[in-house]
Amino acid sequence: MSEIEARLAELERLGLGRRLRLLSGPQGPTVLLEGKPVMLMCSNNYLGLADHPRVREAAADAAMRWGVGAGASRLVSGTMTIHRRLEERLAAFQRSEACLLFGSGYLANIGVIGALAGRGDTVFSDELNHASIVDGCRLSRAEVVVYRHRDVEHLHWCLYHRGRRDGQGRQLVVTDSVFSMDGDVAPLEEIVELAGAAGAQVVVDEAHAIGCLGPDGRGALAEAGLEGEVDVIVGTLGKSLGSYGAYACGSAEMIRYLINTARSLIFSTAPGPPAVAGALAALELLQERPHRVERLRSNSRVLRQALAEEGFPVAELEMQIVPLVVGEEREAMSLCQKALEGGVFAQGIRPPTVPAGTSRLRLTAMASHTPAELRSAARVFGEAARALGLEPADMGPPIVESVQSPTAPMPAEPSMSEARGVMAAAERVSAGAPFDGELEGGAREEQPPAGGSLRPEGAEAPFDFERDHAAARAA
Ligand SMILES: Cc1ncc(COP(=O)(O)O)c(C=O)c1O
């Protein structure tokens, strides 16, 4: 057996094997999943714009006018008029002086963090931050201090006990605004205040908040009245804005600095014109018709209410991300499979994407779902859980085993020791997994981006998707 085979076998043995699932058609509320029509309950196409006719047309038109690829990195010959146009629009949307497009959210986070922190500096990172933040922290070579999830007292303690106080190193606090696996929101006001008092810079990743929260979908910072209060906002084009790519917003000086120092910008090809033009059209739609944001929020309420009626202990929030935390890896996958048999698709999420013992289905509402679809999906999840002998009432928000607190050390429960075993094994077989820092008090991670729509074999043109989609809806 080769080493690779052995690693794969180990993953299977642990219930951590993964495979790609093939979707036909666009990321609509209903898709053909491996030939079967199912309701899609795990896409980040929150506003339903990825397959909006105007977004498609803009991308197709851009391909005809400017071609498909940018051909070079932004700093060589890859900055085209369409990039500049979207940057200007995004800066205005985020009430920032300037904006810089990156190839993806992953690239934006590693580029921004690496530019703002290096050897001798300290980064303070929430323990449930996204993997791209975790990796950005690691690549930066700064000292990384992981504070307990959304725990401002712990952050406060860390800023004054773990950061350099000799005035030599830079300090940076970095957080998701909406946490991608749990749908909860960072205490942004307190973070901004604490960081300001400690002289630390702040980066906020609004990947799951843009288009979902705040006035006109401008994000969690806007919702909290904190526009202009942080050093860098990172947003992606691949979720609510229905495309691919990402951006950083900040002062003109900050953006000039990132252009000069963010390695993932400097050493990577610029995003292609169709993706950029598609995102621009989506942004225009969001601004013209902000009711989509309202629709997403009311759909999120409908989904949460319907799940509560099935006995799932979901919080009464308006967030579009709803975790059903099963716990054990194999049980989460069984629930995923059972729900699929009932015609609803929500991918099971396991370590290292989430902490061991908190495997789950991560449900997402979209503005394009109908309330009736969401209610029927909730019924399917309830029936699927009961058919497997799982109790919906036990699938509450995860109890995260926090990084060891310097102020209040937490003894490891036996069950957590087992969980650590799974996590450690998962890391052995997937070297460099996002969680490996965490076991020594490092940082934690999230899910791989829900992949974009996969083109059906033999499809000739992008709009072949439409036929498949119509078939899925008709079925
Ligand atoms: C919080 C967060 N940041 C960044 C990313 C990465 O964005 P992208 O998919 O554009 O690389 C994701 C993707 O899932 C995310 O959830």
Q: At what angle do helices 414-429 and 3-13 cross, to 10 degrees?
A: 150
Q: What is the pLDDT of residue 460?
A: 29
Residue 254 CA to ligand 1 center (angstroms) comes to 21
Dist CA 47 CA 286 (whole Å)? 9
Q: What is the pLDDT of residue 248?
A: 98
Whether 298 and 369 have beta carbons less than 8 Å apart is answered as no
Domain contains 437:
no
Residue closest to 283 by CA, chosen among 224, 231, 216, 222 = 216
Residue position matching structure tokens 């690239």: 107
Q: Which of the two residues, 402 and 94, has the higher pLDDT score?
A: 94
Q: Which of the two residues, 467 and 149, has the higher pLDDT score?
A: 149
Considering its fold, how many domains does the chain have in total?
Answer: 2
- Would the pLDDT of 410 be above 50? no
% helix, strand, coil for the chain, step of 5: 45, 15, 45
- Would the pLDDT of 393 be above 90? yes
Q: What is the pLDDT of residues 67-103, one digit of tens each?
A: 999 999 999 999 999 999 999 999 999 999 999 999 9
Domain contains 434:
no
Encoded tokens for 117: 């922190």
Domain contains 421:
no
CB of residue 105 inside a 6 A radius of ligand 1: yes
Q: What is the pLDDT of residues 329-381, one digit of tens each?
A: 999 999 999 999 999 999 999 999 999 999 999 999 999 999 999 999 999 99
- DSSP assignment string, 73-88: BTTTT---HHHHHHHH
Question: Which residue's C-alpha comes closest to atom 4 of ligand 1?
Answer: 105
Domain contains 224:
yes
Residue 127 CA to ligand 1 center (angstroms) comes to 16
Q: What is the pLDDT of residue 401?
A: 55
Residue 446 CA to ligand 1 center (angstroms) comes to 9
Whether 169 and 122 have beta carbons less than 8 Å apart is answered as yes
Q: What is the pLDDT of residue 440?
A: 30
Predicted confidence band of residue 171 (pLDDT cuts 50, 70, 90)? very high
- DSSP assignment string, 140-197: HTSEEEEEPTT-HHHHHHHHHHTS--SS-S-EEEEEESB-TTT--B--HHHHHHHHHH
CB of residue 236 inside a 6 A radius of ligand 1: yes
Q: Is 97 found in the same domain as 57?
A: yes
Instruction: Specify the DSSP class assigned to residue 454.
Output: P
- Would the pLDDT of 415 be above 90? no
Dist CA 274 CA 454 (whole Å)? 17
Q: What is the pLDDT of residue 419?
A: 46
Range of the domain at 323: 3-49+290-399+448-474
Bridge partners (DSSP) of residue 100 are 248
Average pLDDT, the chain: 87
Best probe residue, ligand 1, of 27, 126, 132 (max atoms within 8 Å of C-beta): 132
Q: Which of residues 266, 288, 310 is at a domain's end?
A: 288
CATH number, position 460: 3.90.1150.10
Q: What is the pLDDT of residue 397?
A: 79
Q: Which amino acid is at 186?
A: A
Predicted confidence band of residue 400 (pLDDT cuts 50, 70, 90)? low
Q: Which of residues 237, 257, 288 is at a domain's end?
A: 288
Residue 395 CB burial class (10 angstroms; 0-12, 13-18, ≥19): buried
Q: Which atom of ligand 1 is nearest to the CA of 178?
A: 1
Encoded tokens for 31: 């898709």
Longest pairwise C-alpha distance within the chain: 66
- Would the pLDDT of 405 be above 70? no
Average pLDDT of 325-329?
Answer: 95
Residue 42 CA to ligand 1 center (angstroms) comes to 14
Dist CA 176 CA 46 (whole Å)? 17
Whether 384 and 311 have beta carbons less than 8 Å apart is answered as no
CB of residue 136 inside a 6 A radius of ligand 1: no
CATH number, position 219: 3.40.640.10
Q: Is 239 found in the same domain as 147?
A: yes
Best probe residue, ligand 1, of 237, 247, 446 (max atoms within 8 Å of C-beta): 446
Q: What is the pLDDT of residues 179-197, one digit of tens each?
A: 999 999 999 999 999 999 9
CB of residue 106 inside a 6 A radius of ligand 1: yes
CB of residue 246 inside a 6 A radius of ligand 1: yes
Q: Is 237 found in the same domain as 188?
A: yes
Average pLDDT of 214-227?
Answer: 97
Instruction: Specify the DSSP class assigned to residue 19.
Output: -
Best probe residue, ligand 1, of 43, 106, 133, 177 (max atoms within 8 Å of C-beta): 106
Span of 54-68, 305-319, 422-436 with lowest mean pLDDT: 422-436
Q: What is the pLDDT of residue 163?
A: 78
Q: What is the pLDDT of residues 251-263, one digit of tens each?
A: 999 999 999 999 9
Residue 43 CA to ligand 1 center (angstroms) comes to 13
Whether 457 and 142 have beta carbons less than 8 Å apart is answered as no
Whether 54 and 281 have beta carbons less than 8 Å apart is answered as yes
CA distances (Å), origin 23, targets 48, 149, 216, 380, 399: 16, 34, 31, 20, 33
Whether 237 and 245 have beta carbons less than 8 Å apart is answered as yes
Q: How far is CA 111 from the centre of its chain?
A: 17
Active site residues: 180, 208, 239
Region at 354 (left for phi over 0; alpha for psi -120 to 50; beta for the rest): beta
Question: Which residue's C-alpha comes closest to atom 5 of ligand 1?
Answer: 105
Span of 184-198, 258-272, 401-415 with lowest mean pLDDT: 401-415
Residue 388 CA to ligand 1 center (angstroms) comes to 32
Q: Provide, rounded to the nearest whole percent, the portion of the chain with pLDDT above 70.
A: 84
Instruction: Specify the DSSP class assigned to residue 311.
Output: T
Q: What is the pLDDT of residues 423-465, one digit of tens each?
A: 454 444 443 333 333 333 333 333 333 333 322 333 322 222 2
Helix/strand/coil (H/E/C) assignment for every residue in 326-393: EECHHHHHHHHHHHHHCCEECCEECCCCCCCCCEEEEEECCCCCCHHHHHHHHHHHHHHHHHCCCCHH
Q: Is 147 found in the same domain as 31?
A: no
Q: What is the pLDDT of residue 398?
A: 73
Q: What is the pLDDT of residues 96-148, one digit of tens each?
A: 999 999 999 999 999 999 999 999 999 999 999 999 999 999 999 999 999 99
Dist CA 124 CA 105 (whole Å)? 19
Q: Which of residues 288, 314, 347 is at a domain's end?
A: 288
Q: What's the Rg (C-alpha) of the chain?
A: 22
CB of residue 240 inside a 6 A radius of ligand 1: no
Q: What is the pLDDT of residue 455?
A: 28
Average pLDDT of 264-291?
Answer: 97
Q: Which atom of ligand 1 is nearest to the CA of 180?
A: 16
Q: Is 310 found in the same domain as 295?
A: yes
Residue 390 CA to ligand 1 center (angstroms) comes to 31
Q: Is 78 found in the same domain as 68?
A: yes
CB of residue 205 inside a 6 A radius of ligand 1: yes
Predicted confidence band of residue 291 (pLDDT cuts 50, 70, 90)? very high
- Going by their DSSP bridges, the two strands 122-126 and 98-102 should be labelled as unpaired
- Would the pLDDT of 404 be above 90? no
Average pLDDT of 313-318?
Answer: 89
Q: Is 298 found in the same domain as 284?
A: no
Whether 83 and 99 have beta carbons less than 8 Å apart is answered as no
Q: Is 331 found in the same domain as 253?
A: no
Q: What is the pLDDT of residue 399?
A: 63
Q: What is the pLDDT of residue 153?
A: 98
Domain contains 410:
no
Q: Is 380 found in the same domain as 277?
A: no
Q: Is 165 found in the same domain as 71?
A: yes
Q: Is 368 found in the same domain as 298?
A: yes
Dist CA 236 CA 104 (whole Å)? 7
Q: Which amino acid is at 187?
A: P
Domain contains 102:
yes
CA distances (Å), origin 469, targets 4, 247, 300, 464: 37, 30, 23, 9
Dist CA 112 CA 145 (whole Å)? 17
Dist CA 425 CA 465 (whole Å)? 40
- Would the pLDDT of 290 be above 70? yes
- Would the pLDDT of 474 be above 70? no
Whether 243 and 55 have beta carbons less than 8 Å apart is answered as yes
Question: Which residue's C-alpha comes closest to atom 14 of ligand 1?
Answer: 449
Dist CA 94 CA 227 (whole Å)? 7
End-to-end alpha carbon distance in the chain: 44
Q: Is 10 found in the same domain as 151?
A: no
Residue position matching structure tokens 């899910």: 447
Q: What is the pLDDT of residue 270?
A: 98
